[in-house]
Amino acid sequence: MIQKKICMLGGFAVGKTSLVRRFVTNVFSDQYHTTIGVTVEKKTVAIKDHEVMLMLWDLYGEDEFQKVRDSYLRGSSAYIVVMDGTRRGTLDTALALQQTAARTLGSVPFVSIINKADLQTEWEIDEGAIEQLRARGWTVLFGSAKLGQGVEELFRNITTQIMHGSPLPTERL
Amino acid sequence: MSHRPFDSVPSDDPLFNRILSTLDIAVFERDEPSGGFRLQGLAPEWWCARVGPEASTVLDLEQWSPFLRDYVAADHSVWASESGPVEKSGPWTESDGQGGTMTLEATVLSMESRTVLLIERLGAGFEQMRSIVQRARERMLAEDVTVKSHRKTETRLINQLEVSERTKDDALALLQHLGLAALVLDERGCITFASDRARQLLGASTGEVIGREWGEVIPFHQQDRTIFRETINAPSDSRTAGPFYIDSAQPTWVEVDIHRDPRHPGRQIVVVNDRTELHTLRRALSEQASFHDLVGKSPAMLRVYQLVRDVASVDTTVLIEGETGTGKELIARAIHSTSGRRERPFIAANCAGLTDSILTSQLFGHKRGAFTGAVNDQQGLFEAAEGGTLFLDEIGDVPQPVQTALLRVLQEKEITRLGESRPRKVDVRVLAATHHNLSEDVVRGSFRADLLYRIRIARIRLPTLRERREDIPLLAHSFLMTICAATGKTIDRLSPETLHRLMSYVWPGNVRELRSAIEFAVISCKGTEVSPDDLPPEIVGTPAVPTLAPWIPLQGGDEKSRLLAALSDAKGNRTEAAKRLGVSRATFYRRLVELDIPPR
Ligand SMILES: Nc1nc2c(ncn2[C@@H]2O[C@H](COP(=O)(O)OP(=O)(O)O)[C@@H](O)[C@H]2O)c(=O)[nH]1
Ligand SMILES: [Mg+2]
């Protein structure tokens, strides 16, 4: 079975772990348990008769205490950039991380998601900012790990992009 | 370096193995031909728990997190060179084989031709570090929430401010629309708001009002200023004060309602009411009361009041001239009560239509048996008025013999009772009144010239009501109020049309006729307002032409005297006299001829 490495990138507490856990085990916890090490979760998905084993690298959040090591990114087929809609600052972190990823991995597919859609009334990331991201060529999805909204779609979207790109892996090198 | 540490560490050294196992480190060495890693020495507990006691001692990378496989597969520079830095894997999470997780960290060491892999389970030290980072991140999140809630409060306040600004604008528009004169004063008495009407009333223009202390802006007089300040400082929620005079381009009288702003107890809302009209009426009424029972503020009447004051202070005889019903007796009373004799009696005697002897006896008294029916000694009015004032009305009607007796009283200041010969001293001030032109009576020979000069030392001529039409509303209102008070009726006003009729009528009977007309109207009136229909027919019948009043013929001598009075008022100018009477010149001439009044 094909295995694909996907990194979860984003500032701390944006919901990377929550998204992965919701996707893999369909559970959610309101408790914040900061991730310091790397946890790799696996889940098999089927895209048009093809089964793919996704290896989801839940990296710790980038902040002043921890910097993501470039080496963790190597070998990724794609990555997911997560932002917290209620914190404007997580968008800046996302931009920086995406640049690091692009430098390390080249133009592998990635999608971004603005998490915590259940708290939309408190969002600080507004339409204008989202438009700017899209203008940079970003795919911007919305979701809530808490409610399970947009989670399946997130992983399905990135997997589809990987599968479309996989017949021609050399092109990306 | 000739010393090779790996050579000197026997893999089966029991002490060495125990140390590594106690430190939770599993040691593997690469088996060169197969490339697999084989466990060396004692396995730590976590390894056994994870792979099971019977498992092989070969590391099966497929069983572990891809994280370890990637690390091992990476191009570690240390593998090639002995002196390169050691690159640890960094922590990663593994299942502990018992339903939980554990955090491991791997290190690859390459020496000579041997490669060693150390995997350490991170323990207490790591947990401590993790909890510090966790706390730091939680604090950052909490701070973020605080900042956000502050920002939210701020936004809410700004929004509320906007809403209240809008509400204020609406209230303002309403205020301006209603033409309400309102001011808002802050705690220090500074004006924070003034409606257009208020600025207008206070004689202050835009811009120079806001932010200034009320005392600087409102042109009150000193004593009003004090009252206003006291009213503002009074503790009750709503207060009224005034009237205050505002000394501006358009002099105004105002009353103020002061309300405490319920939301800001330090602030005061001042509503200014224009009371100029009311005040003028009130003042007119109080002036009337202050001048005895005389009502009127026309220039003609003001001149009369001044004359009354003038003659009151000197003890002379005064001749009061005026048409019937103009209030001659009131003037006499006013003179008396303004004079030094006011504590003494005032006695009025009407001399009209009395015979010689009756009038003599009435004025001077008589002795018992002086004439038939004189059963007792009787003092006369002169004696009764001792020390005070005797008012002789219709002096022109006094028969010749009485005129002579009067002259002697005025000259000698003594009287003799009828039937007596001994004169009695009297101290009486005589005031006389007439509706005749006494000069003409003198010419005609019906009045003694010396008596006329004696009584006409001072002279007050009362204007007819026609000559002071502007007093009609005041008089009418004053009568209305007195009559209503006396009859218990509640009529509070005269309709504009009624007032118009009253003002255009010629009033031959003057104020007395006006009073009767109001009495009549009060009886007829069914509502709270007197309408023209309530007035006596002769007044209603009059076409309402204020400038030219119609001719109401008077009877006999009365009409003659009116024509003569008009002529004398007009200083002999007949056109002017006709105008004063409200008749045409032709009618005036015809009546002069008919009544046998000679041209002068
Ligand atoms: N309301 C809400 N909270 C979420 C959502 N996703 C994650 N969280 C909470 O955000 C905090 C951080 O989540 P976590 O997954 O640990 O973030 P990570 O540091 O990016 O892995 C935790 O307290 C979660 O419960 C979501 O969709 N809605
Ligand atoms: Mg996490």
Ligand 1 pocket mutation, candidates A14, A18, A93, criterion most atoms within 8 A of CB: A18
Cβ separation B66–A55 shorter than 8 A = yes
Give domain status of residue B164, yes or no: no
Cβ separation B141–A57 shorter than 8 A = no
User: Using the 8-state DSSP alphabet, how is residue B398 labeled?
Assistant: -
Last residue of a domain, one of B97, B122, B147: B122
> Chain A within 8 Å of B90 (Cβ-Cβ)?
yes
**Under a CB-based contact definition with an 8 Å cutoff, are residues B383 and B377 in contact?**
no
Please indicate, yes or no, whether residues B249 and B359 belong to a single structural domain of this protein: no
Positions of chain B with pLDDT under 50: 1-10, 78, 288-290, 543-556
Q: Report d(CA B97, CA A156) in Å as an integer.
A: 30
Give domain status of residue B135, yes or no: no
A157 C-beta closer than 6 A to ligand 1: no
User: E strand or H helix at B513, and its extent?
Assistant: helix B510-524
pLDDT for position A118: 95
In ligand 1, which atom is closest to the CA atom of A12? Answer: 19
Q: Report d(CA B287, CA B294) in Å as an integer.
A: 9
Q: In one letter, which amino acid is B93?
A: T
Query: Which residue of A34, A36, A57 to mutate against B (max B Cβ within 10 Å)?
Result: A36
> Chain B within 8 Å of A121 (Cβ-Cβ)?
no
The CATH number of the domain holding residue B97 is 3.30.450
SS3 B362: helix
Q: Which of B67, B101, B133 lies closest to A36 in CB terms? A: B133
**Under a CB-based contact definition with an 8 Å cutoff, are residues B291 and B334 in contact?**
yes
Q: Which residues of A touch B122 (CB under 8 A)?
A: 37
Q: Report d(CA B110, CA B114) in Å as an integer.
A: 6
Q: Report d(CA B293, CA B29) in Å as an integer.
A: 135
Please indicate, yes or no, whether residues B187 and B38 belong to a single structural domain of this protein: no
Q: In one letter, which amino acid is B172?
A: L
Please indicate, yes or no, whether residues B220 and B339 belong to a single structural domain of this protein: no
A119 C-beta closer than 6 A to ligand 1: yes
State pLDDT tens for residues B241-257: 878 888 776 777 888 88
Chain A nearest CA to B66, separation (Å) = 7
Where b means 16+ CB within 10 Å and e means fewer, B186-213 reads beeebbebbbebbbbbbbbeeeebeeee
Q: Which of A38, A61, A122 lies closest to B67 in CB terms? A: A38
Please, what is the end-to-end C-alpha distance for chain A in angstroms? 22
Give domain status of residue B220, yes or no: yes
**Under a CB-based contact definition with an 8 Å cutoff, are residues B359 and B398 in contact?**
yes
C-alpha pair distances (Å), B87 with each of B77, B78, B536? 9, 8, 126
Helix boundaries (H) for B291-437? 299-313, 328-338, 356-364, 381-384, 400-412
Q: Which chain B residue has the Cα nearest residue A63?
A: B137
Please indicate, yes or no, whether residues B361 and B256 belong to a single structural domain of this protein: no
> Chain A within 8 Å of B92 (Cβ-Cβ)?
yes
The CATH number of the domain holding residue B476 is 1.10.8.60
Chain A nearest CA to B229, separation (Å) = 52
Give domain status of residue B504, yes or no: yes
Q: Angle at the Cα of B256 (from B252 to B257), degrees rounded to 5?
A: 155
A145 C-beta closer than 6 A to ligand 1: yes
Q: What is the pLDDT along chain A (173 residues), one digit of tens a residue?
A: 889 999 999 999 999 999 999 999 999 988 888 878 899 999 999 887 888 999 999 988 666 666 778 889 999 999 999 999 999 999 999 999 999 999 999 989 999 999 999 999 889 999 999 999 999 999 999 999 999 999 999 999 999 999 876 433 333 33
Please enumerate in sequence order all residues whose Cβ is within 8 A of that of A65, keeping only pairs 6 or more positions apart, or say none: B133, B136, B137
C-alpha pair distances (Å), A88 with each of A34, A94, A135, B3, B125? 20, 10, 18, 58, 34
> Chain A within 8 Å of B69 (Cβ-Cβ)?
no
SS3 B528: coil
Give domain status of residue B1, yes or no: no
Where b means 16+ CB within 10 Å and e means fewer, A68-84 reads beeebbebbbbbbbbbb
Please indicate, yes or no, whether residues B302 and B418 belong to a single structural domain of this protein: yes
**Under a CB-based contact definition with an 8 Å cutoff, are residues B41 and B27 in contact?**
yes
Q: Report d(CA B362, CA B382) in Å as an integer.
A: 9
Six-digit token string for B370: 């002086």
Please indicate, yes or no, whether residues B200 and B315 belong to a single structural domain of this protein: no
Q: Report d(CA A157, CA A47) in Å as an integer.
A: 10
Q: In one letter, which amino acid is A127?
A: E
A85 C-beta closer than 6 A to ligand 1: no
Last residue of a domain, one of B73, B98, B122: B122
Assign residue A148 a region (left: φ > 0; alpha: ψ between -120 and 50; beta: otherwise): left
Q: Report d(CA B488, CA B252) in Å as an integer.
A: 35
Strand-pair category, B92-95 with B58-59: unpaired
Cβ separation B67–A57 shorter than 8 A = yes
Cβ separation B91–A38 shorter than 8 A = yes
Assign residue B50 a region (left: φ > 0; alpha: ψ between -120 and 50; beta: otherwise): alpha
Give domain status of residue B99, yes or no: yes
Give domain status of residue B138, yes or no: no
Per the omega criterion (within 30 degrees of 0), is the bond before B299 cis? no
pLDDT for position A82: 97
C-alpha pair distances (Å), B299 with each of B32, B121, B470? 138, 119, 10
SS3 B437: coil
> Chain B within 8 Å of A92 (Cβ-Cβ)?
no
Strand-pair category, B378-379 with B458-461: unpaired
Please indicate, yes or no, whether residues B222 and B362 belong to a single structural domain of this protein: no
- Domain of residue B13 covers 6-122
> Chain B within 8 Å of A71 (Cβ-Cβ)?
yes
Please indicate, yes or no, whether residues B214 and B256 belong to a single structural domain of this protein: yes
A49 C-beta closer than 6 A to ligand 1: no
Please indicate, yes or no, whether residues B414 and B528 belong to a single structural domain of this protein: no
Q: Which of B65, B90, B129 lies closest to A69 in CB terms? A: B90
Q: How far is the CA of B148 from the centre of ligand 1 (A)?
A: 18
Q: Report d(CA B484, CA B272) in Å as an integer.
A: 32
State pLDDT tens for residues B290-307: 466 778 888 888 899 889
SS3 B260: strand
Six-digit token string for B3: 């010393």
Q: Report d(CA B569, CA B365) in Å as an integer.
A: 38
**Cβ atoms < 10 Å from Cβ of A3:** 12
SS3 B333: helix
The CATH architecture assigned to A2-164 reads: 3-Layer(aba) Sandwich (3.40)
pLDDT for position B84: 58
pLDDT for position B68: 94
Q: Report d(CA B462, CA B566) in Å as an integer.
A: 13
Q: Domain limits of chain A? A: 2-164
**Under a CB-based contact definition with an 8 Å cutoff, are residues B404 and B448 in contact?**
yes
Number of domains in chain B: 5
Last residue of a domain, one of B461, B478, B510: B461
Please indicate, yes or no, whether residues B451 and B384 belong to a single structural domain of this protein: yes
Please list the residues that pair with B190 across neighbouring strands. B213
Please indicate, yes or no, whether residues B295 and B440 belong to a single structural domain of this protein: yes
Give domain status of residue B310, yes or no: yes
The CATH number of the domain holding residue B197 is 3.30.450.20
Ligand closest to the CA atom of residue A82: 1
Q: Report d(CA B559, CA B580) in Å as an integer.
A: 14
Please indicate, yes or no, whether residues B532 and B566 belong to a single structural domain of this protein: no
**Under a CB-based contact definition with an 8 Å cutoff, are residues B467 and B580 in contact?**
yes
A12 C-beta closer than 6 A to ligand 1: yes
pLDDT for position A170: 34
